[in-house]
Amino acid sequence: MDRHQRDEASGVSGTDQLAPADNLLPSFIVFGGARYERATKRSKPIRNADTQTDGKAAHTLARDTVGYMTHQLKLASVFLHLEPNIPSSCSPKQAAQNGELMLLNTSAQTCDSFSLRNIWTTAYAAGVKELQTLLENDCSAINAKGFVVYNRRQLGVKKLSEKFVLGLGQKGSPLQYAAMAGHIDSVLLLLTRGAEDDSYPYLKDILGDEMDTTVKSMSASFRAEQKEKRMRGKEKPRSKAVVIPPSLAVE
pLDDT at 122: 92
pLDDT at 242: 52
Pick from 12, 92, 96, 91: which is nearest to 55 by CA?
12
Q: How do residues 210-249 score in pLDDT, each as one tens digit? A: 888 888 888 777 667 666 766 777 665 555 555 555 554 5
- Per-10-residue mean pLDDT of the chain, 251 residues long, equals 53 50 67 67 54 74 79 68 51 43 38 75 91 88 91 89 89 93 90 89 88 80 69 62 52 50
Helix, strand, coil proportions of the chain in percent (round to 5)? 50, 10, 40
For 172-213, the DSSP string reads: B-HHHHHHHHT-HHHHHHHHHTT----SSSPHHHHH-HHHHH
Dihedral of alpha carbons 40, 43, 47, 52, sign: negative
Amino acid at 211: M
pTM (2 decimals)?
A: 0.49
pLDDT at 70: 76
User: If you ran DSSP here, which 8-state letter would residue 110 be given?
Assistant: -
Number of other residues whose CB lies within 10 A of the CB of residue 18:
18
* Contact (Cβ atoms closer than 8 angstroms) between residue 118 and residue 149: yes
pLDDT at 210: 81
Distance CA 131, CA 181 (A): 13
pLDDT at 99: 38
Distance CA 42, CA 250 (A): 126
pLDDT at 232: 72
Q: Phi first, then psi: what are they for 222, rounded to 5°?
A: -65, -40
Distance CA 187, CA 106 (A): 19
Tell me the β-bridge partners of 149.
154
Pick from 205, 191, 207: which is nearest to 142 by CA?
191
* Burial class of residue 85 in the structure, from the number of CB atoms within 10 Å of its CB (0-12 exposed, 13-18 middle, 19+ buried): middle
